[in-house]
Chains A and B, each alone.
Chain A
Amino acid sequence: MIRSYASKLGNSRPIYKLSLNDSKSRINSRLVNKYSPRPDLLDPISTLVCYHFMERLVGDKYIKDYEGIEKAVIMGIKNEFKKFIVCYGGFKNARQSGIHRFLNTYATPPPEVVDGLVYLYRYARLHGMSGGTMIGAFTDTDQKHIDNILAILELMRSKFEPKS
């Protein structure tokens, strides 16, 4: 899913402006028109993908680093949810909770978990969750959304948490 978002974005053109350092011992290079993707502000996933946009030079052209983008986006989403659990999970010790530990389990989660987290993130953002510190992210009227998010996270945990 993240890849399909990223594939719609463009790439930089490999044109560089060169300059000398102060001691004239080295030629430095700067990309002339670095591609900066414009996010669809109404779609939180698009914003996240654009924020973590990465590309690398292969041969004589830039290609998107899909793996890097996906890892960075998922890391960002997991961090948001971890903060969410601390603020709204209602746990005595949120960092020791099952959901928090589940979010820490995978460095690269399986595709089903990735898709689940992405859809859930979109749901959360579209229903009041703001990014950042999470404090005051939800109002009292959003309690049903908070419950939904926690329930889905708990379900994901019970389904995808590796059995030890």
Chain B
Amino acid sequence: MGVFDDKRYDQLDWVSQAVQPIETPLAALLDRLPESTKIDFELITCNHPNGELDRETIISSMIRKFHPGYSMSWKEKDLINECFEFDIRSPELIVNLENRTLTGEVYLVKTKFSIEEDKLKSVLGEHGREEIGKLHSHRMDHTRTNEMLDLLEDCEVAIASRSGKTKKLALNDRLRQIFTNNEWKIKSTDLADKIGFWIKAYIDNGDLAALSNISRLKVMTYKEAPIYSIEETT
């Protein structure tokens, strides 16, 4: 095994190697979330005492419970949220704050058990791009930023610019373009997200491990094969 080999791809069975599905931890996360959750009085009044409640509130607390410390982009959260619906199973649903009761039954039920490939494509690298959005454009290291822009290619205008904001926007736009057009053939949302984190780590702190990782990934893209994982330097 060389340092530029994709171990995860090699482990896939021949069907998966042919189909090349996008791998994402969101699928496992969705699996772990309960199929049906009964909403009781305490739960329905957790957001607002009058019983107004959105599914995001419940799903976020379930994710915190089942996957503590797991962070997602807004688009990824939306994907998970779209898999759930409220279901009222009684003719009427009444909240009475005087005697603290909920009359009727309401559940949060899972309506989708998998996330479609097209939707996963739209969230590739989103979390990483959100990280790049957090870069301080007025005090970023321009030399390191230019190196990253050079690595991403097609960013000559931003490289020539003296504006940190222009460079930051170019990084973000170029990454979105790479994922939308599937230029690097990345097939893992986890790996795609890491690109943004590596870029930010290198620009912010000159993190050489991050530079090594993104350079290795870039070399792997020349093979024009799907990429599921790389041998990371930590």
Contacts and interface: CB of A to CB of B under 8 A. Distances in A.
Given A25-B54, A25-B81, A26-B53, A20 B98 contact: no
Interface residues of A, number: 21
Nearest to A25: B55
B12 interface: no
Interface string A19-49: 1100111111101100000000000000000
Given A17-B92, A19-B93, A27 B52 contact: yes
Contacts of B87: 24
A25 B84 CA distance: 8
B85 A61 contact: no
B98 A60 contact: yes
Contacts of A1: none
Contacts of A60: 49, 97-98, 100
Interface in B4-23: none
B43 to A, nearest CB: 11
A16 B85 contact: no
A16 B51 contact: yes
Given A20-B88, A24-B86, A25-B81, A32 B94 contact: yes
B44 interface: yes
A19 B86 CA distance: 10
A31 B92 CA distance: 14
A16 B81 CA distance: 25
B106 interface: yes
Interface in B62-107: 81, 84-88, 92-98, 100, 104, 106
B50 interface: yes
A5 B98 CA distance: 26
Contacts of B92: 17
Contacts of A32: 94
B86 A15 contact: no
Contacts of A17: 92-94
Contacts of A16: 50-51, 94-95, 97
A13 B95 contact: no
Nearest to B100: A60
A72 B233 CA distance: 66
A29 B55 contact: no
Interface in A126-149: none
19 contacts: A14-B50, A14-B98, A15-B96, A18-B51, A18-B93, A18-B94, A20-B86, A23-B85, A24-B85, A24-B86, A25-B54, A26-B53, A26-B86, A29-B48, A29-B52, A29-B95, A57-B50, A60-B97, A60-B98
Interface of A: 13-20, 23-29, 31-32, 57, 59-61
Which 4 residue pairs spanning A and B have beta carbons closest together? A14-B97, A24-B85, A60-B97, A18-B93
